[in-house]
């Protein structure tokens, strides 16, 4: 059955869907779109996702957009390697963590980074600094989730790995280059400040499907 994932390189939403596909050991054709070239607004793409965004997964005759919906679909369609646990209690715990990452860490990073990337930061410096501080506090919180385990919910990777790695990698990559008067990103150096998190990132980087999901423009720049 043909399986296609439409993505934009570096989109944390597409990245999480690709990591989930990899963790489940599913083959897929990754089709790269370029927002700057209008690829997400073509009639063909809008027919797949009327919101004109990625990711979109086309799996046989099923089309699904919204990254968390993609992950939920994969879990139902391919339950053999569970990403949301095997018991109701595990599912509750993993979904809770997934929504915490989305609602707090990712939200704080988006609130900090979006005005910078879109050059609309003037007058919003305090709010941006607050969001960076919230993100730093969330990074400390998620590090605590490890509790001595290899992965965020125990000894095997779950959906939490797929949702958490992209924003952490992104901010570590772009954060130090932010040089805007009045804005202090104060991005932690994971290796020295959060060594357990840095070790977890290395474990995630060794997981199946990680390389295929890695943003192509970062790879090209390396
Ligand atoms: N809530 C959506 C957000 C998806 C989203 O915002 N994707 C962005 C890339 S990060 C996008 O496709 N933007 C359209 C464009 O850049 O042309 C999800 O979780 O899938």
- pLDDT tens digit at each of 222 positions of the chain: 799 999 999 999 999 999 999 999 999 999 999 999 999 999 999 999 999 999 999 999 999 999 999 999 999 999 999 999 999 999 999 999 999 999 999 999 999 989 998 999 999 999 999 999 999 999 999 999 999 999 999 999 999 999 999 999 999 998 888 999 999 998 999 999 999 999 999 999 999 999 999 998 998 876
Mutate to test the pocket of ligand 1, among 6, 53, 163 (most ligand atoms within 8 A of CB): 53
* Atom 14 of ligand 1, residue of closest alpha carbon: 53
pLDDT for 154: 97
Is 163 near ligand 1, meaning CB less than 6 Å away? no
User: What are the residues facing 31 on neighbouring strands?
Assistant: 6
Is 106 near ligand 1, meaning CB less than 6 Å away? no
Task: State the span(s) of the chain assigned CATH 3.40.30.10.
Answer: 3-77
Kindly report the CATH class assigned to 88-208.
mainly alpha
Tell me which CATH homologous superfamily contains domain 3-77.
Glutaredoxin (3.40.30.10)
pLDDT for 222: 67
Among residues 107, 5, 2, 10, the alpha carbon closest in space to that of 55 is found at 5
- Tokens, residue 218: 């970062």
Residues in the chain: 222
Measured from the Cα of 38, ligand 1's closest atom is 17
The helix (run of H) or strand (run of E) holding residue 14 is helix 12-23
- How many angstroms separate the CA atoms of 103 and 138, rounded? 11
* Atom 16 of ligand 1, residue of closest alpha carbon: 35
Among residues 110, 125, 114, the alpha carbon closest in space to that of 180 is found at 125
pLDDT for 117: 86
Task: State the span(s) of the chain assigned CATH 1.20.1050.10.
Answer: 88-208
Is 9 near ligand 1, meaning CB less than 6 Å away? no
Measured from the Cα of 55, ligand 1's closest atom is 20
Q: Read off φ and ψ for residue 34, nearest 5 degrees.
A: -120, 110
First-to-last alpha carbon distance for the chain, in angstroms, is 34
* Å from CA of 33 to ligand 1 middle: 11
pLDDT for 1: 79
> Degrees (nearest 5) of the Cα angle 207, 200, 111?
100
pLDDT for 176: 87
pLDDT for 221: 78
């Amino acid at each position: 059955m043909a399986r296609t994932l439409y993505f934009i390189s570096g989109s944390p939403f597409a990245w999480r869907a690709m990591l989930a596909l990899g963790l489940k050991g599913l083959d897929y054709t990754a089709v790269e779109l370029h927002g700057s070239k209008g690829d997400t607004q073509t009639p063909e793409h809008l027919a797949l996702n009327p919101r004109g965004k990625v990711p979109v997964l086309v799996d046989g005759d099923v089309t699904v957009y919204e990254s968390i919906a993609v992950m939920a679909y994969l879990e139902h369609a391919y339950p053999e390697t569970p990403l949301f646990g095997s018991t109701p209690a595990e599912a509750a715990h993993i979904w809770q963590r997934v929504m915490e990452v989305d609602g707090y860490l990712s939200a704080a990073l988006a609130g900090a980074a979006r005005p910078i990337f879109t050059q609309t930061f003037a007058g919003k410096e305090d709010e941006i600094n607050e969001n960076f501080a919230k993100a730093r506090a969330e990074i400390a919180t998620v590090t605590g989730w490890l509790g001595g385990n290899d992965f965020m919910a125990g000894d095997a990777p779950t959906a939490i790995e797929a949702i958490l790695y992209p924003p952490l990698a992104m901010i570590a990559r772009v954060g130090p280059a932010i040089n805007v008067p009045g804005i202090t990103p104060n991005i932690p150096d994971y290796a020295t400040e959060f060594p357990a998190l840095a070790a977890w990132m290395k474990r995630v980087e060794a997981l199946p499907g990680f390389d295929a999901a890695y943003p192509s423009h970062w790879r090209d720049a390396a």
